[in-house]
Structure 1
């Protein structure tokens, strides 16, 4: 299981209705995109981080691991804003580049933090069955892909461990051979698992609709009200600072 799924299933907010958390996290995300990077996006990112650590009680180390990979992508994407090509010098610092790069990194990481606030507190199995307005076929395919993803990761891990024990990565040539065999083995296993899944569904009387039991979770009015107050407060604080 992926780290973010483990966090969502074991989190303090697991018992809350997904709609509450979606209202809070997606509201923060919308503000992070619509408000100016300074100070709006900063306020949204700080609020998302505070809610993850203080409200949902996600460990700081886990939050750092979840943010590490997106931060790397964002930093790499911000590098072109720092330089300019052409002119007297083939490569020169871009005028205003550091400011634009800082705004990009700030807004992007604030948005990522808001998304992680929802993803790290809400398992996908609690979310998809409640999307009544989405066509049933779309949610069922998403659930099957979600399930098969973990099966593929398990197969990949098992094949790689077996190749490592057989010294399959001791040389460059052996590494390329092992990677090629790894891809073929995972493809065969994935095809076999998909066929067995289809046979299992047919044996259980699958008629085109997956019946999923959805646990009833009441919507907390105080939580929604507090979320609305927080979102409004961020907008007001941003406008006050910009004046």
Structure 2
């Protein structure tokens, strides 16, 4: 099991209805994308992290391990905004407006990533997927996502087993052996995953699959008080941002 899934299953917010958590983190995500970057993005990140590290008790170390990859991707991608290509000879030069645009995009994207990761840290996918059909998503799409989610863990387990066997046979002793072992690992994973998908399809057909998988859903109470509490932080962020913009635009 991935670390983020293990954290979601042991989260104190596991018993909170996904709609309430979606309203909280989804509302903060909308604030990060729709409101002016400053001060909306820092406010969104601060509120989301306070909720996560406070009542949700998300491990800061686990969050840092999951967030460093997306944040590094955002940071390296924003570096391209610092330069401009143009002129008569197509020269590369620093863009005077580049730092401001890079900071804006980095702030928005970082705040949005925090909201999405924290929702994943508090909501297992198994609790979310069965409820998506109730809000109008096609059941076929939801089932494809569920099957891919299941096959992901099977593939990762197969990869670990094959890699362990290769390492026991000195498959990674030098660069040449490493390249050969990685190629063999990819080929073995492709074949095993394809065969597993075929067996899964035959198993569903033998069980009378009619286009919809019926699963038991753990019913969670959806209290109006929880929805109100989840809606307050995004509303406060929006109000604080509007007040900041109004004061800044004043005489």
TM-score, shorter chain, exceeding 0.5: yes
What displacement does 1:176 show?
Answer: 2.0
RMSD over equivalenced CA pairs, Å? 1.8
Quickly say closer, same or farther: Cα 1:91–1:213, change in 2 above 3 A: same
Q: Deviations over 1:65-112 (max 9, x none)?
A: 121111110011111122234559944432132222221111100011
Q: Pick the aligned partner of 2:183 from 180, 187, 199.
A: 180
In structure 2, runs of 5+ residues without a counterpart are: none
Quickly say closer, same or farther: Cα 1:186–1:89, change in 2 above 3 A: closer
1:117 corresponding residue in structure 2: 118
Instruction: Verify the 8 A CA contact 2:129 2:142 in the aligned structure 1.
Output: yes
Aligned residue runs from structure 1 range 84-123, under 5 A = 84-86=84-86, 90-123=91-124
Task: Tell me how far apart the structure 1 counterparts of residues 213 and 20 of structure 2 sit (CA, whole Å).
Answer: 25
Q: Which runs of 4+ in 1 moved over 6 A?
A: none
TM-score by length of 1: 0.93
In structure 1, runs of 5+ residues without a counterpart are: none
Instruction: Verify the 8 A CA contact 2:8 2:121 in the aligned structure 1.
Output: yes
1:21 corresponding residue in structure 2: 21
1:50 corresponding residue in structure 2: 50
Q: Deviations over 1:131-154 (max 9, x none)?
A: 121111111111111100110111
TM-score by length of 2: 0.90
Aligned: 1:215 with 2:228:
no
1:59 corresponding residue in structure 2: 59
Task: Tell me how far apart the structure 2 counterparts of residues 224 and 29 of structure 1 sit (CA, whole Å).
Answer: 16
Instruction: Verify the 8 A CA contact 2:28 2:233 in the aligned structure 1.
Output: no
Task: Tell me how far apart the structure 1 counterparts of residues 211 and 242 of structure 2 sit (CA, whole Å).
Answer: 51
Aligned residues: 243
Instruction: Verify the 8 A CA contact 1:74 1:105 in the aligned structure 2.
Output: yes
What displacement does 1:198 show?
Answer: 2.8
Q: Which secondary structure state, in structure 1, belongs to the residue aligned with residue 214 of structure 2?
A: coil
Task: Tell me how far apart the structure 1 counterparts of residues 187 and 234 of structure 2 sit (CA, whole Å).
Answer: 50
Q: Pick the aligned partner of 1:231 from 227, 234, 251.
A: 234
Instruction: Verify the 8 A CA contact 1:51 1:117 in the aligned structure 2.
Output: no
Q: Which secondary structure state, in structure 1, belongs to the residue aligned with residue 84 of structure 2?
A: strand
